[in-house]
Chains A and B, each alone.
Chain A
Amino acid sequence: MHLVTSNFNNLYNNSSWKVLKNVNIDKQYNNFYLNLNNKFTLNKYQTFHVLIYLDIKNTKKTLALLEEIIKKNCNKNKIIFFYIFKFNEINSKNNRYVDNKILNFQKKISSYKKNLFFKIFLKLKKNFFDSRNKKHIKFPFDIFAIKNFCKNINHNLKIFFSKPFKLIILDCDNTLWGGILDEEKIKGITYGNTKKGIFYKNFQKKLLELKNKGFILSVSSKNNEHNVWNAMRSRKMILQKKDFFNSKINWNEKYINIKKIISELSLRPADTLFIDDNFLEILKVKRLIRNISYIHIDNIKNIEEKIENNLRLKKLLISEEDKKKIEHYKIRNNFKNFESKNKNNPNFFKSLKQKIQFYKCNKSNFNRALQLFNKTNQFNFSLRRLNQQELKKIIKDRKFEIKLFGLKDKFGDHGIIGVYVLKKDKSNNVEILDFNVSCRVFSRFIENYVIFIISSKYKNKNILIKYNKTNLNNKIIPIFLKKSFFKLKNKEKNLTYKIIPNDELYAVKKFFN
């Protein structure tokens, strides 16, 4: 559920609010301050939408209350959207006063933006407001304003529920810069502070922002690789070689390169965005790689707008894992290189010095746990998508055991890469309800090791694991379930397997420190 609260009378029972689904409209007048300081209310809702009306009389006081809320920021995991509607005062001096107050407020809040989002409407038309409604029902707007509120709230809810892309694959010529590098050479391509070059520069700025939010950038381009990196360096572009990961720059067909990039990162085409100026290339890629998304750059001037309008390029909460994502993939790449060189080495896994650490789910890793429930697909037994409330309930309930696990090896720290939830009942059964592992670390016996740890901990119990088979998780898990320590018990809608520890399971111990 989501809550709409404000500093005016919301007309909570007005039929115009009905377009919002699963949204509670606060019945109380001017109740935003209490709501956002109340831990019970903060825990109850997934997102908050705070509508603020500002005029000459209430600006100072309201902004002070908002600042207080922002500084306290009682629950940093809660997403709060503030929509500030400024009334245009007739007296220009008063108008300037309110504007200045809002500007100062914007400056002050800029460092607190992690989970708080602001949309400030400074120049609204006069007919957006209604003095009669303000006087008699403490609703300072014309009634059609509710439709405007709903539109904004629905837009933000769509962002909240959208699944961000994981990988952005870019072309170079006429995408990262204007012109063809091979023909026009480094000095001839369009990039920089020129009339057209600024659009490419801004586009790269936007891409860098996305990279910092945890989107992986990669290049698939028909070009000479050395020349591409050289061009970026010589022209002092915003994006440099270090910002891209697993790029494939050669004269092969693009779809072949893109397929390689996706599979080497163990990602799905559905989580990949391809950006190119050549529509024929896009069509070819689209035809040969199912479910891949694309953006066609028909005019570089429109690209920022296209990026801005794409909900899957927005990320509300950015976790520490997101920021470290590229580092983790680099570590993974080092592992892959090592693996290809040491394929035949019988002590390969031992030489990795793998170490699994288990963690309780707490404040510091709560967002990562949420991500693992909502983002992992391929190795996700239940495909249960838990929200904050549901996860908190599981953490508090003694019937359940929730553990996160992280991986370290000789190449570095891969971070938290998986989670499991067990249900313990009074009988002799322990049921693994959820078992999710990030695709970054497949085929390293981590899944086996976690099962080994669980079965060692609950030696005398019946350990069961349920598998909810769907199109999203039907590739890797069935292979894993062929291991000899799984025995199919129930073939109903959710397949149930019993874990019977044997030598194959115990053997995994030797691969970990």
Chain B
Amino acid sequence: MNYMLSKNFLINEIKKIFKKELGIKVSIKNKIYDHAKWDSLGNFNVLLKCEKYFNIKLTNKEFTNTKSFKEILKIVQKK
């Protein structure tokens, strides 16, 4: 239950980051290029914001390979 709560919490927070950084509404199923504003640079901006917001640091590999909402969620959960 706690896990689910925290997962929902993280989903909401990541959605807020998308809204603030790119000005778009996203769902958990979305991935890069689903929105015009979610391009490669937009993706990096979201990842940088997530790093700052959740106080985490992505590795080089994670930074270049994370390209969907689910992958972002997975990394944030993992860290």
Contact = CB atoms under 8 A, between A and B. Distances in A.
Contact of A15 (B21, B41, B51): B21
A137 interface: yes
B69 interface: no
Given A143-B51, A143-B52, A144-B52, A13 B41 contact: yes
B64 interface: yes
A135 interface: yes
B41, B51, B60: most-surrounded residue (chain A CB, <10 A): B41
A13 B37 CA distance: 9
Nearest to B42: A13
Contact of A14 (B21, B60, B63, B64): B21
A136 interface: yes
Given A13-B22, A15-B20, A144-B52, A136 B60 contact: yes
Contact of B64 (A13, A15, A136, A144): A136
B60 A135 contact: yes
Nearest to A143: B48
Nearest to A146: B48
B19 to A, nearest CB: 10
A11 interface: yes
A133 B21 CA distance: 17
Nearest to B45: A14
A132 interface: yes
Contacts of B20: 15
A15 B17 CA distance: 10
Nearest to A139: B44
Contacts of A15: 20-21, 45, 49
Contacts of A132: 58, 60, 63
Given A143-B51, A143-B52, A144-B52, A11 B60 contact: no
Interface in A141-155: 143-144
B78 to A, nearest CB: 18
Nearest to A12: B41
Interface in A1-24: 9, 11, 13-15
Contacts of B22: 13
Nearest to B58: A132
Interface in B16-59: 20-22, 37, 41-42, 44-45, 48-49, 51-52, 58
B15 to A, nearest CB: 15
Contacts, number: 34
Contacts of B21: 13-15
A14 B64 CA distance: 18
A13 B60 contact: no
Say what secondary structure dominates the interface of chain B.
helix
Contacts of A14: 21, 45, 48
Interface in A113-138: 132-133, 135-137
A13 B45 contact: yes
A12 to B, nearest CB: 8
A484 to B, nearest CB: 62
A136 B40 CA distance: 11
Contacts of A137: 41, 44
Contacts of A143: 48-49, 51-52
A11 B45 CA distance: 7
Contacts of A13: 21-22, 37, 41-42, 45
Interface string A489-511: 00000000000000000000000
Contacts of A133: 48
Nearest to A132: B60
Contacts of A9: 41
Contacts of B42: 13
B6 to A, nearest CB: 25
Nearest to A10: B41
B7 to A, nearest CB: 25
A15 B37 CA distance: 13
Nearest to B20: A15
Contacts of B37: 13
A132 B58 CA distance: 9
A136 B63 contact: yes
Interface string B59-78: 01001100000000000000
Nearest to A9: B41
B63 A11 contact: no
Contacts of B64: 136
Nearest to B43: A137
Interface of A: 9, 11, 13-15, 132-133, 135-137, 143-144
Given A136-B44, A137-B44, A143-B51, 9 more contacts: A9-B41, A11-B45, A11-B48, A13-B22, A13-B42, A14-B21, A136-B60, A136-B63, A143-B49
19 contacts: A9-B41, A11-B41, A11-B44, A11-B45, A13-B21, A13-B37, A14-B45, A15-B20, A15-B21, A15-B45, A132-B60, A135-B60, A136-B44, A136-B64, A137-B41, A137-B44, A143-B48, A143-B52, A144-B52
Return the 4 tightest CB-CB contacts between A and B, nearest first: A143-B48, A137-B44, A14-B45, A15-B21
